[in-house]
Structure 1
Amino acid sequence: MASAAVAVALAMGAGCVVAPGRNEAGLADLTRRFGPRVRTVVLSGEQETDQHRMRQAAPGPIDKVLDILPPLPDAAPVRAAAQTGRPHGTVVLMGGLRVGLELNYAHLMRHSITIRGQYMYPRDAPARLVALVRAGLLQLDNWTVTTFPLAQANEAVAQAARSGRAFQTTVLLPTQ
């Protein structure tokens, strides 16, 4: 999911995307696929260190922070990212955080940070993604797609479980 978000952000004109994460191999893959416009940061688990690394990775002030992390036992990475936004920036919370999230109220108020919760994505997102592809702004050659006819639904599920990595997609085609 995070990998797709990076691809879409770049397609929509983001000059640079700072992509923090714990999986060094996954982060290296993002850099390989998208080049220098993606700046990766390996999370240390220490909030101040992670904030500093994210800010240093960015070529300038961070306009938007998008939290799409999976369920975590601790909110430190989300809290660290939320503290990196520029004055009048936006923090969008879409992740699977299942613990409380305490944010620095004074920081948010002093810098006029907008916090927005967004479960999943807006209804018009699929049509907008298709429009990006049609316009040639979102390249699909980064994805490997494996298709199965409806009669092989069990095999498709097994394949999806085996290859549930970034840029790997399994599609069930009901018309075949």
Structure 2
Amino acid sequence: MSAPLEQSEAVERGGLLRDAGILRASEKKTNREPAGLLRAESRFLDVLLLNGSASSDDAADDLAAKHDDGGHWLGGIFLRLSRGGLIVDVGSVRSCRPIRHRGKLTLWGIGQREAVERRQRDVRLMLDALTTNGTGSTGATAEPALNSTTQPTNGVNEHGQAV
């Protein structure tokens, strides 16, 4: 039988277990909807860079909509960014989302501006790749293939795209 943990050790161990659980949960969500997670992170980083602070409300697609899983998967975004020193906790704000009933949210500030800007560029590149390639693994293109009904005319196809 092991000796009981000191309070500080127990708190530290609990924090590590919580963080590991958040990462596991966010990885599962990422595997299901990588583009959705990247869009949420991109929205959050856009607001953060524009205003100097942002909350999880800023990552939401639709403030009136309820998250399928309660939004818990968003925690992985903030955990990763805060662990990397890109964002810092600067206080709390009340949620604007009706479903949250004005509950408190962490307000995040910029920790390292250059790193946040670099991450935003990376997220946009990943989103572009997913948009262009469908799921990112199929290699499909978003543009229609030319066939007998979509022959280019004067360098422009029937969709108005330059060819």
- Report the TM-score, using the length of structure 1 for normalisation: 0.23
Query: Per residue, is there more helix in 1 or in 2?
Result: 2
Could you say which structure has the larger radius of gyration? 2
Q: TM-score, normalised by structure 2?
A: 0.24
